[in-house]
């Protein structure tokens, strides 16, 4: 069901934790399946110099968060915004279709952390954390409701 890379990142997640003085924090979640991700970034000269995550969810959610940290570290803020959930899943050699919907929130969390960083830098209020755009938030409108 899961690739060797998914299992490796689930069993040996990279960059787990919290950055206390983070320059940006992203929180995303999926109310349908209960996955919640916190992504913390440290930025120097518009480059992500440190990234950590805390994820509450299934093995796929932990694996995508872990892979995200490896992909995003060293990227500029603009490059980080180009990272997609599909890129993360591809780097993990794929995810089962049912897990693409709920568990691959990692890029959304990174984008939220970058938006938080930008807001702080510009002196404006940080965006409100919320549910991921990749989840409709209601099983009634979800074509995968039978699989939750």
Looking at every residue in the chain, the average pLDDT score rounds to: 85
Give me the mean pLDDT over the 124-129 stretch: 73
Catalytic: which of 33, 135, 139, 142?
33
pLDDT surpasses 50 at 115: yes
Identify the weakest region by mean pLDDT among 22-31, 44-53, 67-76, 123-132: 123-132
Nearest in space to 110 (alpha carbons), one of 31, 20, 22: 22
Handedness of CA 47, 51, 56, 58 (dihedral sign): positive
pTM: 0.83
What is the pLDDT, as a whole number, of residue 43? 98
- Give, in degrees to the nearest 5, the angle at Cα 90 between 94 and 74: 140
The pLDDT of residue 124 is 85
Show the domains of the chain with their CATH numbers: 4-127 (3.90.1010.10)
Region of 81 (left: φ > 0; alpha: ψ -120 to 50; beta: rest) is alpha
> Mean pLDDT throughout 56-63?
91
Q: Strand 130-131 vs strand 24-29: parallel, antiparallel, or unpaired?
A: parallel
Per the annotation, the verdict on 58 as an active-site residue is no
From the list 102, 135, 139, 142, the catalytic residue is 102
**Residue 144: exposure state from Cβ atoms within 10 A (0-12, 13-18, ≥19):** middle
> Residue 33 catalytic?
yes
- pLDDT > 70: percent of the chain: 84
Quick one: CA dihedral 103, 53, 8, 81, positive or negative? positive
Split at pLDDT 50, 70, 90, the class of 15 is: very high
pLDDT of residue 128: 62
- pLDDT number for residue 123: 87
Position 103 scores a pLDDT of 67
Q: How many CA atoms lie within 13 A of 77 on its CB side?
A: 17
Q: Look at residue 18 and tell me whether its pLDDT is greater than 60.
A: yes
């Amino acid at each position: 069901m899961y690739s060797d890379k998914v299992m490796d990142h689930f069993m040996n997640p990279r960059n787990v934790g919290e950055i206390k003085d983070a320059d940006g924090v992203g929180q995303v979640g999926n109310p349908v399946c209960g996955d919640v991700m916190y992504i913390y970034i440290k930025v120097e000269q518009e480059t992500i110099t440190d990234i950590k995550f805390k994820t509450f969810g299934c093995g796929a959610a932990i694996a995508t968060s872990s892979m995200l940290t490896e992909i995003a570290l060293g990227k500029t803020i603009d490059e980080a915004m180009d990272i997609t959930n599909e890129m993360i899943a591809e780097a993990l050699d794929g995810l089962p279709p049912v897990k693409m919907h709920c568990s691959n929130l990692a890029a959304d969390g990174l984008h939220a952390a970058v938006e938080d960083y930008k807001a702080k830098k510009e002196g404006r209020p940080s965006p409100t954390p919320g549910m991921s755009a990749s989840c409709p938030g209601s099983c009634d409108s979800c074509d995968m409701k039978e699989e939750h």
